Structure 1
Amino acid sequence: MEVKEPFSRMQSTVIHDASSDSGGEDGATSRVIFYGAFLSRVIHAFLQNLQYASDDLMMLDDDSLMIPYQIGDVFISHSQEETQEMLEAAKESLEQEVKGLEERVAAIQQVLGDLKIQLYAKFGNNINLEADES
């Protein structure tokens, strides 16, 4: 389904940009976490819009209406039932993408936590690995 594609392209672009950062591996990793969380919020907003569209479709009285549904750059008219099925498929796809992003962010945060423990064990308080909150 085409609905997922723009977010996947944006995610890979963001991650590529973050990993090519000259600020070092820690800076790139923190950017991936930030952008992953940002994309998660964007996808959640898109999911909410899909839910609103689904709710609006359920309120329609006329089952014979053709509903325009955007696939890529084109709107294609489908029956109310087909459109509802396509919205459900798009929601499921995006929910899986959000779940994957959240799992990836959690895994990266776990690795960062483990690395901080190892580095503090080796160098003690001679290093400061805490992120600046400014």
Structure 2
Amino acid sequence: MPTQGFQKVLGIELDEVSPERIAAHIDIDHRHANSGGAVHGGILMSLADSLGAMGALQNLGPTQRTATLESKTNFVRACVGARITAECQPLHVGHQTSVWHTVVRDEDGRICAHVWQTQIHFDAPGFKTPTGGSAK
């Protein structure tokens, strides 16, 4: 599964994609920083949201899609360094929803954030992305 759209803008690089685990990293530069010089919290949240959606898609049929219903982030520490990593795993995968937990770490392996999100699953035969391609 290649990254596309906003994921490319963020610089997300996928390291592992399976129905049970999505792992990725972002090489950090000045565009990712907040006013204090750490990685902006929105980057961490966007990374986790992207991985949760990718994980949900790995568990859906070819005409199904997903959207985030709810997302909660607990920031544990400022994330600094040249790379952040994230690992996302399902806590529940059902017919209509799935729940995902993502741990975001700094380059020294310290946890920066925990993100929990609930994805809704729905049928969308013939769905096209804004660029005209398939979303899966």
Flag whether TM exceeds 0.5 (same fold).
no
TM-score by length of 1: 0.29
TM-score by length of 2: 0.29
Q: Specify which structure has the higher proportion of helix.
A: 1
